[in-house]
Structure 1
């Protein structure tokens, strides 16, 4: 059994919460249906469950039980994403796919934080923030350049 000390637990849970919240901030700033608090909680909750699974593993190893926990998290997060996408009043239109994908990413970052994989968390978070920041302008520019249909708002 791996025994994590208080600072390590605080670091893993804190970074997971902050990473999810950072992604959620982008959603909040763009008035999307999921935001800072929700994605912060997604990161925190997934890191918590992974920490519990890691506590019972050999040091430095992800066990079969931890693998099943991670699979369950990723399956469950799909329901949150579906709730973001499927909303009343938007018949025959799909909305919220990016927010649903952000919920999935916040869960993945929480899993990585719970496992203590800091390099992966940092690189994934930086790439996500860059993509969320410049993605829309680049998308519009490419639509204009390539003659695509730019009907997105």
Structure 2
């Protein structure tokens, strides 16, 4: 019975020896944490906006994409050979993103395109972090947050103005309604 414990310990040490030194372990942890953090930032924004794919989904997508790149790199795969791995991740995320898209046939509109694109981008950010390109991953996340937050407001304002313009056009075509004139107050 005494001989079994040293054998188990040796087996465990061998199985967990894929990280050769503290430097490699730190690099691995940093890349995984970076992917989780950046995915979490995007997920938090989507969660705050009340979207179906929120915090947990985006963190998991970023972590998974990071791991799909990190594990082959640790196994000795060359950066040039990672293109096949990345193609698989991109295709798989495409299926996940497709699940976020809903088409309302009676209203002739589609919902979930931004969420789907966000999931796809989150995977790309996870891949980027997994490859050790943290600066690129951070900048892409900041740019995505700008698009999701700031441009959403711009888009909303444009939609309101287009809707007002359409109402004015509709009202001007009717003879039974007085024509509405725009005033300086309409430009809010």
Q: Does 1:27 align with 2:46?
A: yes
Q: Does 1:119 align with 2:135?
A: yes
Which one has a bigger Cα radius of gyration? 2
Given that residues 34 and 134 in structure 2 are in contact (C-alpha distance below 8 angstroms), is that contact kept between their aligned partners in structure 1?
Answer: no
Partner of 2:80: 63
Partner of 2:162: 148
Given that residues 57 and 63 in structure 1 are in contact (C-alpha distance below 8 angstroms), is that contact kept between their aligned partners in structure 2?
Answer: no
Deviation at 1:140, TM superposition (A): 2.6
Structure 2 length normalisation: TM-score?
0.69
Deviation at 1:63, TM superposition (A): 2.5
Structure 1 length normalisation: TM-score?
0.84
Partner of 1:72: 88
Partner of 2:174: none
Q: In the aligned structure 2, how far is the partner of 1:25 from the partner of 1:36?
A: 5
Given that residues 100 and 116 in structure 2 are in contact (C-alpha distance below 8 angstroms), is that contact kept between their aligned partners in structure 1?
Answer: yes
In the alignment, structure 2 segments of 5+ residues that lack a partner are 1-18, 165-188
- Alpha-carbon displacement from aligned partner over 1:92-136 (angstroms, at most 9, x marks no partner): 431111111110011000000110001211110111111111111
In the alignment, structure 1 segments of 5+ residues that lack a partner are none
The 5-angstrom pairing of residues 1-153 of structure 1 reads 5-57=24-76, 62-64=79-81, 66-86=82-102, 90-91=104-105, 92-143=108-159, 148-149=162-163
Higher relative contact order (CA 8 A, sep 6+): 1
Which secondary structure does the structure 2 equivalent of 1:84 belong to? coil
- Alpha-carbon displacement from aligned partner over 1:75-108 (angstroms, at most 9, x marks no partner): 0000110001137xx3343111111111001100
Kindly report structure 1 stretches of 4+ aligned residues shifted beyond 2 Å.
90-93, 140-144, 147-150
Given that residues 43 and 55 in structure 2 are in contact (C-alpha distance below 8 angstroms), is that contact kept between their aligned partners in structure 1?
Answer: yes
Q: In the aligned structure 1, how far is the partner of 2:75 from the partner of 2:25?
A: 16
Partner of 2:8: none
Q: In the aligned structure 1, how far is the partner of 2:33 from the partner of 2:152?
A: 29
Which secondary structure does the structure 2 equivalent of 1:31 belong to? coil
- Equivalenced residue count is 143
Deviation at 1:15, TM superposition (A): 0.6
Provide the alpha-carbon RMSD of the alignment.
2.3
